[in-house]
Amino acid sequence: MEEKYVKEITPKSEDFSQWYVDVIVKSELADYSPVRGCIVIRPYGYAIWENIQKLLDRRFKETGHKNAYFPIFIPESLLQKEAEHVEGFAPEVAWVTHGGQDELAERLAVRPTSETIICSMYSKWIQSWRDLPVLINQWANVVRWEKSTKPFLRTTEFLWQEGHTAHRTEEEAEEETLRMLQIYRDFAENDLAIPVISGRKSENEKFAGALRTYTIEAMMSDGKALQAGTSHNLGQHFSKVFNIQFLDQDGKLKYVWQTSWGVSTRLIGALIMTHGDDRGLKLPPRIAPIQVIIVPIFGKKKEEVLAKSRELYQLLKEKFRVELDDRDEYTPGWKFNEWEMRGVPVRLEIGPRDLEQNQVMLVRRDTGEKILVKEADLLNFLNDLMEDIQANMFRQAKKFMDDNTHTATNFEELKELLINKRGFVKAMWCGEGECEKKVKEETTATLRCIPFEQEVISDKCAVCGKKADKMVYFAKSY
């Protein structure tokens, strides 16, 4: 029975893509819906999103941001104001053409992102330097009509947050852009235990309408890159077309400098693909909806074991997200597999012999290690254990990323690595979009970012051989 249950998930090594979908559906993170390209986020998956929201929202508020809510509909004329922006988004917009029985005079876009609707309000709200900075964030759903979709990573509708800020000076806007990227990095590494490369996107890869886009790039356990969060310095692109002007202290009318930044439910996909294994999901304690699952093993002392399990549940509940699986219809072995598949960091087993010894058995999801702990030490031990699991999961992921990051000095090497090896390839780049395109055409890999942490590999572009002073990352990506 145990054996069979585990086999229901396609092994990761056999078919990564099918493994990913199996984990999502079997662990009840999400399910397919009757709407093309849309998923249902089930309670277990949504609880992860709630934890993501809580941990990020606190960081946003600590840095002075406030939440607001803007309409989901954007009149077509508004969306078209910024030329690059509309070009980037128009192909993937869902259009509302009818309200009730009536055809609308102007089509409404279901927001693919909210720069335009928000800018139209900022031009009304911002008059003086005293009104600046404006630091607003929105938690919302957005829609992009994607050709091919994959749960959490790319769906027609998804949930995200989008920050939109306005500043007096270019410097302030750049500072904000980098501050928010740093918050994303801190969150990804410390809470999600996902190591990331942070840096700047190339001109080809930047956000439609931005001056500069910064990104954090994570490596999934099949070696592909996943863009986990982006922060854009919008410059004055939008303020000029939406006429967002303020009277500065020097008496002059000036355009504001803007930023926008966002992360989405695709982070749940990143969690699955960074940490999961053949047994299923593996969640870092800080983000796990259930941190400890108590599985009683009744033996011949059902009443006593159940009473003690309930007592432990009450004890742990104050400090941890804990659940007690006291279902009669399943065997302990079945439950072990179930909760391993669902990625709970720590399993607490308690049976008749443990009762006598005043102890419990703890089992780590990340290493499989079993540890006997005296009841009296349990709270403190668990506290340390959570920290240890969190740190170990980050270390494992970081080691995987390091082990799968290669270096290329010429185009042959670059091609060979990108086609035949999984992972990232570091190489020098001259800055030309043509070289980027050539790599993409011949390998399907893209330039992921120009990292802040630079290394000098050589002084020549790995693609064209001309002078180059930037080291960049190339990778296939989601």
In the region spanning residues 147 to 176, those forming contacts with a second copy, defined by CB under 8 A, are 156-157, 159
Helix (H) or strand (E) holding 116: helix 115-125
Q: From residue 171, how far is each of 8, 209, 257 by CA, in Å?
A: 54, 19, 9
> CB 123 → a second copy: shortest distance, Å?
11
* Separation between Cα atoms, residue 93 and residue 111, nearest integer Å: 8
| Binder of a second copy out of 70, 129, 381, 478 (CB under 8 A) | 70
> CB 143 → a second copy: shortest distance, Å?
7
Structure tokens at 129: 């330097």
| Binder of a second copy out of 2, 8, 15, 50 (CB under 8 A) | 50
The position carrying tokens 């930044």 is 261
Is 263 a residue that touches a second copy (CB under 8 A)?
no
| Binder of a second copy out of 23, 24, 48, 117 (CB under 8 A) | 117
> CB 154 → a second copy: shortest distance, Å?
14
> CB 131 → a second copy: shortest distance, Å?
12
Is 247 a residue that touches a second copy (CB under 8 A)?
no
The alpha carbon torsion through 85, 88, 94, 96 (nearest 10 deg) reads 30
| Binder of a second copy out of 130, 303, 318, 453 (CB under 8 A) | 130
| Binder of a second copy out of 10, 11, 21, 46 (CB under 8 A) | 46
Is 301 a residue that touches a second copy (CB under 8 A)?
no
Which is closer to a second copy, CB of 112 or CB of 195? 112
In a 13 Å sphere around the CA of 29, the CA atoms on its Cβ side amount to: 32
Is 64 a residue that touches a second copy (CB under 8 A)?
no
Q: Which stretch binds a second copy (CB under 8 A): 106-114, 187-195, 378-386, 391-399?
A: 106-114
| Binder of a second copy out of 14, 62, 318, 329 (CB under 8 A) | 329
* Separation between Cα atoms, residue 136 and residue 261, nearest integer Å: 11
> Residue 252 contacts by C-beta under 8 Å, 6 or more apart in sequence?
none
* Separation between Cα atoms, residue 169 and residue 235, nearest integer Å: 9
Cis amide prior to 289 (ω within 30 degrees): no
| Binder of a second copy out of 75, 88, 223, 465 (CB under 8 A) | 75
Q: How does DSSP classify residue 452?
A: S
3-state DSSP assignment of residue 197:
strand
Q: Which stretch binds a second copy (CB under 8 A): 67-75, 180-188, 253-261, 317-325?
A: 67-75
> CB 41 → a second copy: shortest distance, Å?
4
Number of residues that bind a second copy (CB under 8 A): 56
| Binder of a second copy out of 7, 58, 66, 317 (CB under 8 A) | 66
* Separation between Cα atoms, residue 23 and residue 25, nearest integer Å: 6
Is 54 a residue that touches a second copy (CB under 8 A)?
no
The position carrying tokens 């299923």 is 280
In the region spanning residues 379 to 418, those forming contacts with a second copy, defined by CB under 8 A, are none
Q: Where are the alpha helices (DSSP H) in 291-425?
A: 302-317, 332-341, 352-357, 378-403, 411-420
> CB 328 → a second copy: shortest distance, Å?
10
* Separation between Cα atoms, residue 166 and residue 115, nearest integer Å: 11
Smallest CA-to-CA distance from 286 within 356, 190, 428 is with 190
Give residues in contact with a second copy (CB under 8 A). 31, 33-35, 38-43, 45-47, 49-50, 66-75, 78, 90-101, 107-108, 110, 117, 120-121, 124-125, 130, 136, 140-141, 143, 145, 156-157, 159, 329
